[in-house]
Amino acid sequence: MSGAALGIEIVVVFFLALFLLHRYGDFKKQHKMVLFGTLLAWYLCFLIVFILPLDVSTTIYKQCKIDNEEHSTYSAVTVHSNQSTRNDSTTPAGLRKECYKPWSYIPDGIMPIFWRVVYWTSQCLTWLLLPFMQSYARSGGFSITGKIKTALIENAIYYGTYLLIFGSLLIYVAVHPNLIGHLDWYQLQTIGITAANTWGLFLLVLLLGYGLVEIPRSYWNASRRGHLLMKTYFKAAKLMTEKADAEESLEDAMEEVRKVSECIKYNHPLRKNIDTILKKCPTEYQEKMGRNMDDYEDFDEKQNVYPSEKSLVKLHKQVIYAVQRHNRTRVQWQILLETAFHLEDVAKNETSGTHQFVRSCTPQEPEGFISRYLYTPTVEWYWECLLRQWCYRILAVMLTLFSVAVVWSECTFFSTQPVLSLFAVFIQLAEKTYNYLYIEMACFLTIFFLCTCVYSTVFRIRVFNYYYLASHHQTDAYSLQFSGMLFCRLTPPLCLNFLGLIHMDSAISHQNREQTAYTSIMGSMRVLSFIADGFYIYYPMLIVLLCIATYFSLGTRCLNLLGFQQFVGDNDMTSDLIDEGKELIRREKRKRQRVEDGENRRREWKERYGNQREDYTRNRNVQSSEMRETNYSDTNNSNRQAMKYTRSNNRPERDRIELLQEAEPMDFNAETFADDPLDAEAGRHPAVGRYLSMSRSRIFDDV
């Protein structure tokens, strides 16, 4: 199994990242570079989370071998020096312990190269490529040079912040020559890694302090359906306001595009820029503007004031932002509607005596194999109405205990004698019994919980609501790039903080232990003593204050006082928004039910009368063809007889026929004539009228 576990996890993690990208992104509509950048960022971050437990177990095995070598060396020295019997009886030979190789052991030399490639690739993505790609995609420029220039200007603040932190640390090292003798490439590399980790740890603690409290509380509130339904109504009222603003902004942008499109004609030099803007507009607006264009009118025939290229760039960026905001609010509104309908159905089905879950609206997604055969209405009723709330409560209690353990360990992980960090205690107990599977599972679950608390916080906080992750291919390209950029910035310092919690980072624990390959790539933080001995140790203690503030909802109450509407139970504004959201959900449900009723009626009508109508139409066509053939043969016979009798000097009969041909039909009524056959009843009379009015021949032509 040497290195096999590493190879298997590399392949499995790739398909996991690909599956998640397929679930949240859209392979058909989104740009391939956006998808590739997001996939690579997610893949590298998932690799760190999945491979780091293997690095920990391999390091524990190496530490055991080092301890045995030291014990063997010390025993040989004591025997050779002929010490006393007391010393001989206490030789460490009896302390020698057998080392068991872990099932996921990774040979020497592989992990340092692996971590170096993963770390530096992710850092290049998060600090250089992804922000540049995000700004490039949102730029309003029409040329590649213009977009690159705009992207560099917009990302100057990010690059400037990173260079400022790196420069400050470099100056600090330069003015303190007693710290190191001279600067080399390895030390410069360590300073750069320290700067990136410092920025990440600063944001990490802020997000973690919120998530450690809010995630367990969210699961506990999810078990209270009345509270969750009221909060959903509140969100609906707020999101409807934002959705209306987005639609209004889109209408204003489309009106500006229409004016500019009518002003700049087909042969104007800036017309290609207008076509680029039109491609970014929604399809219905493109069709509407296309019908109103007149390409036969030259641009220089009228003395119009034409917009400049700079104003078109600004309009292009405005259109991109308006379309993105409109799509975001539309997707979020649909997701919120499905959630509200489901919660209302659960509330109605709780009192059902049939134990069958009945939905008020048909779900938008088609039923799969699991929903059709395994997740039946009976199973769904027992899960939604009985078991789910108790499972959520148990999960909330477990997550609360996990959060308490994380907070305690963040405040005490610097203490090695005695060991106060709970995670370090658990790992050291498993280390004594060489339970590598437990060590790897404990490391993975802890890192996964920390990542969940941090990443979910970003998409929960209202200030970050500009980005979202929506399943079923509903996430836009900018949110995908933002998530990849954020994951790459926060995952390395989060894993380094986890290694400090379990006392596997010697720069923080100050223990003479074997370092993990991940820590060796990060470099020795002792180059910057105030970072290793100060910021990395005492700054995470701030998490206690953040958890207390989150528990009492101090941030929510402050935002509510400042005018930002937040869900506060004892507030009149909250009650008004709940009532407004409830009415909005009721209106949307009636609208959807009317649509479903109409579709059901059409389906029933087609099933009941569709076959009869097809048979009637088929028989009528057959009869019509037979009548046409019969009339055609009769007409030919009549014509032959008429020609025969005409040749025989029957002049009065021929004159009578000509008079009848010139006569107007007496049964024609101009009022019953219809241009569209569908507008007349049964579609028969308009066809006759149209035939009579447009043909030069008359009704007695076949005589």
Rounded CA-CA distance 356/367 in Å is 17
Name the residue among 355, 408, 362, 359 with its Cα closest to residue 382.
Answer: 355
Lowest mean pLDDT among 219-233, 257-271, 298-312, 488-502: 298-312
Among candidates 137, 108, 250, which has minimal Cα distance to 482? 137
Tell which wins on pLDDT, 632 or 378.
Answer: 378
The predicted pLDDT at position 696 comes to: 43
DSSP secondary structure of 650-696: -HHHHHHHHHHHHSPPTT--GGG--SSGGGSGGGTHHHHHHHHHH-S
Q: Which residues contact 679 (CB under 8 A, 6 or more apart)?
A: 686
pLDDT band at 121 (very low <50, low <70, confident <90, very high): very high
CA distance 43 to 586: 42
| Higher-pLDDT residue of 626, 368 | 368
Q: Which residue has the tokens 């894993």?
A: 495
Q: Is pLDDT of 259 > 50?
A: yes
User: Per-residue pLDDT tens for 563-612?
Assistant: 777 787 777 788 888 889 999 999 998 888 888 888 888 888 888 776 56
What is the rounded distance in angstroms from the CA atom of residue 187 to the CA atom of residue 189? 5
Report the distance separating Cα 294 and Cα 297, nearest Å.
Answer: 6
Check the CA dihedral 411-415-420-423 and report its sign. positive
Going 608 to 610 to 611 to 617, the CA torsion angle's sign is positive
| Distance in angstroms (rounded) separating the CA atoms of residues 366 and 377 | 15
Q: Tell whether the model's pLDDT for residue 685 goes beyond 80.
A: no
Write down the pLDDT at residue 398: 94
pTM: 0.74
- The DSSP-derived string for 510-574 is ----PPPHHHHHH--GGGSHHIIIIIHHHGGGGHHHHHHHHHTTHHHHHHHHTT-----TT-HHH
Alpha-helical regions (H) of 264-308:
271-280, 283-291
| CA gap 465, 458 in Å, rounded | 8
pLDDT digits (tens, 9 = 90+) for 141-181: 788 888 888 888 888 877 777 777 767 767 776 776 665 55
- Which tokens hold the place of 394? 């148990």
With a cut of 90, say whether residue 474 has pLDDT above it: no
What's the whole-number mean pLDDT along residues 498-506?
A: 85
- Please give the helix or strand (H or E) that residue 64 lies within, else none: helix 32-80
Residue appearing with tokens 């056959």: 677
